[in-house]
């Protein structure tokens, strides 16, 4: 909805949001999207085709997984999309999902994206590369699984001594993330726990390869929506992920900090390593 601002003369004028949204009418209100084919040539195996159960119950087979179900357009004509595969994932997990910690307080994708369109940063469609950020949606957006060590100390979840104990191993963690294998990392996790059984900060492998600190504390309710947008198959930016909570630093995974030639960007890797000794994963229920 347009917002109204006060002019210097006291008169009200309407201001438009940075983005307008268009929906693909054929698939609006779909019941379900199922991935039926993936691209096995790529390590992350992205979806190639999906099966869509439409609003009326009819089935559409062999739908291109990259087909835009929603398109966000900025005032200069820049566009970003939500693909069929991404729309199905967000709808299944965060709209129709049964897990309270992941469920957004919106009754449909269309209503969610109308608010997202109002809150998207102005230049996000045209800025190069990947854009990651969080916006306050003003409604319950589930529970986020990260927190800072400082806020956990402030809230009485743990003590400063827990931070000191974990930080004493920072060098080992950075080295292992940079060059260690899964066996070495698991050995570190087990040894740290054996030597520091009462430390509230422990360590865990995320996605089987990244060593990060964890705290056994409940996830926390949030009104923020974390989003990642990046280059899509058609050249326009497309949504990579939406999840409850704040902006999360990139994981200290060397593979995410290398250029196309395979050269490590030491600066960004070190920034991520430092960030993940302040940010921790919450693993409690």
The pLDDT score that the predictor gives to residue 255 is 83
The pLDDT score that the predictor gives to residue 49 is 97
HSE-CB for 55 with a 13 A CA cutoff: 8
The pLDDT score that the predictor gives to residue 262 is 81
The 3-class SS string of 148-164 reads: EHHHHHHCCCCCHHHHH
Q: Which residues contact 27 (CB under 8 A, 6 or more apart)?
A: 52, 54, 60, 69, 84, 87
The pLDDT profile of the chain, 285 residues, written as one tens digit per residue, is 444 445 455 555 556 788 999 999 999 999 999 999 999 887 678 899 999 999 999 999 999 999 999 999 999 999 999 999 999 999 999 999 988 788 999 999 999 999 999 999 999 999 999 899 999 999 999 999 899 999 999 999 999 999 999 999 999 999 999 999 999 999 999 999 999 999 999 999 987 789 999 999 999 999 999 999 999 989 899 999 999 999 888 889 888 788 777 889 999 999 999 999 999 999 987
The pLDDT score that the predictor gives to residue 258 is 83
The pLDDT score that the predictor gives to residue 11 is 52
- Angle at CA of residue 234, ends 52 and 27, nearest 5°: 25
The pLDDT score that the predictor gives to residue 14 is 57
The pLDDT score that the predictor gives to residue 8 is 53
**DSSP state letters, the chain:** --EEEE-TTS-EEEE--SEEEEE-TTTTT-SEEEEEEE-TTSTT--EEEEEEE-TTS-EEEEEETT-EEEEEEETTS-EEEEEHHHHHHHIIIIIS---GGG--S-S-HHHHHHHHHHHS-TTTTTSSS-EEEEEE-SS---EESEEEHHHHHHTTSS-HHHHHHHHTTHHHHHHHHHH--HHHHHHHHHHHHHH-TT-SEEEEEETTTEEEEEEEEE-EE--EEEEEEEE-TTSSEEEEEEEESS--PPP--GGGGB-TT--B-HHHHHHHHHHTTTEEEEEE-
The pLDDT score that the predictor gives to residue 1 is 46
């Amino acid at each position: 909805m347009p917002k109204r601002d006060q002019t210097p003369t006291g008169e009200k004028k309407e201001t438009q949001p940075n983005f307008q949204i268009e929906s693909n009418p054929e698939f609006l209100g779909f019941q379900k999207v199922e991935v039926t084919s993936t691209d096995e040539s790529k390590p992350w195996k992205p979806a190639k085709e999906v099966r869509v159960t439409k609003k009326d119950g009819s089935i559409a087979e062999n739908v291109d997984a990259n087909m835009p179900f929603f398109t966000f357009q900025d005032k200069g004509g820049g566009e970003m999309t939500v693909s069929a595969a991404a729309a199905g994932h967000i709808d299944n997990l965060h709209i129709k999902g049964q897990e309270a910690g992941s469920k957004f307080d919106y009754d449909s994708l269309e209503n969610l994206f109308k608010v997202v369109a109002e809150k998207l940063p102005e230049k996000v469609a045209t800025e190069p590369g990947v854009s990651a950020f969080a916006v306050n949606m003003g409604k319950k957006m589930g529970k986020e699984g990260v927190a800072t060590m400082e806020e956990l100390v402030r809230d009485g979840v743990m003590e400063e001594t827990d931070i000191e104990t974990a930080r004493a191993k920072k060098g080992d963690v950075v080295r292992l993330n940079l060059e260690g294998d899964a066996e070495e990392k698991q050995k570190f996790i087990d040894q740290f726990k054996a030597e520091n059984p009462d430390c509230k900060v422990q360590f865990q492998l995320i996605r089987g390869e990244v060593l990060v600190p964890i705290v056994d504390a409940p996830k926390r309710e949030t009104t923020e929506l974390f989003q990642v947008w990046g280059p899509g198959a058609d050249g326009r930016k497309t949504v990579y992920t939406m999840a409850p909570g704040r902006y999360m630093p990139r994981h200290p995974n060397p593979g995410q900090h290398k250029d196309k030639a395979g050269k490590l960007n030491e600066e960004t890797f070190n920034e991520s390593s430092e960030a993940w000794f302040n940010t921790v994963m919450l693993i409690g229920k």
